Amino acid sequence: MIDKRHKNAEHALADVPDGATIMIGGFGGAGQPNELIDALVAQGSKDLVIVSNNAGNGETGLAALLRAGRVRKIICSFPRQADSHVFDGLYRSGKLELELVPQGNLSERIRAAGAGIGGFFTPTGYGTELAHGKETREIGGRMYVLESPIHADVALIKAERGDRWGNLVYRKTARNFGPVMAMAAKLTIASVHEAVALGELDPESIVTPGIFVQRIVQVPYTATGPAGFKQAN
């Protein structure tokens, strides 16, 4: 019987190795799997390469992982915001390597990995420092830059509902990078707020099929948001 549910986040992340490349879903706080990140901090793996849209903010979530000194490099599109002081301090002191990637390129590089595409040409970044050392080509009278896929050892993503086969449904914008990251990693671990029985998810509503998910962890709702919606921190 296929059952991908794990008893808790610590159990699901116990074998993440040092030096792993880890994709972390989320657009700012929306869709960021904080419970999985906290378990990764507690687990102790180090020398990590993190792929995420943001580089953390405040003191929790991804920022806590950076503050713990476990990240060697981060690949992201939006590293700094008003309260991203943890990233800022590490980067300015030379303790953290940054690969800056335009947001659309980041998403497509992740998607390309999941789709088995060896690379793609994009006009974004041409003529800037981001294109330094990369192949360029003129196509149809416009200049393009060759970008490579981003593969990962592990993806940590957050969904709203899931079943024991790993089929996932997301909540609105919390969906963001989750689906493409699930396809691009060797091991995908998803947190869900509702674990449902097989057959309860409408097949037409499933965004990430279970074939791309290896482990499921149920985490509780921790606060009540606007309009009565339950949300997690």
**Residue 66's pLDDT is what?**
95
Distance from chain centroid for Cα 34: 11
Q: Is residue 230 scored above 70 in pLDDT?
A: no
Q: What is the pLDDT of residues 35-69, one digit of tens each?
A: 999 999 999 999 999 999 999 888 888 999 999 99
CA–CA separation, 162 vs 146, rounded Å? 36
User: What letter would DSSP give residue 227?
Assistant: G
Per-residue model confidence as pLDDT tens digits over 70-83: 999 999 999 887 78
Q: What is the mean pLDDT of residues 164-186?
A: 97
Tokens of 107: 């998403």
Phi and psi torsions of 8, nearest 5° = -160, 170
Percentage of residues of the chain with pLDDT beyond 90: 87
Backbone angles phi, psi at 94, to 5 degrees: 75, 15
pLDDT digits (tens, 9 = 90+) for 195-219: 999 999 999 999 999 999 999 999 9
Place of tokens 């009278």: 141
Q: What is the pTM of this model?
A: 0.92
- Which of 228 and 195 is assigned the larger pLDDT? 195
How many CA atoms within 13 Å lie on the side-chain side of 224?
A: 2
Q: What is the pLDDT of residue 223?
A: 54
Structure tokens at 35: 């419970």
Q: CA-CA distance, 33 to 110, in Å (whole number)?
A: 18
Contact 229, 17 (CB under 8 A): no
Taking the C-alpha atoms of residue 41 and residue 61, their distance in angstroms, rounded to an integer, is: 9
19: tokens are 């030096």
| Mean pLDDT computed over every residue of the chain | 93
Q: How far apart are CA 194 and CA 207, in angstroms?
A: 15
- Taking 90 as the threshold, does the pLDDT of residue 96 lie above it? yes
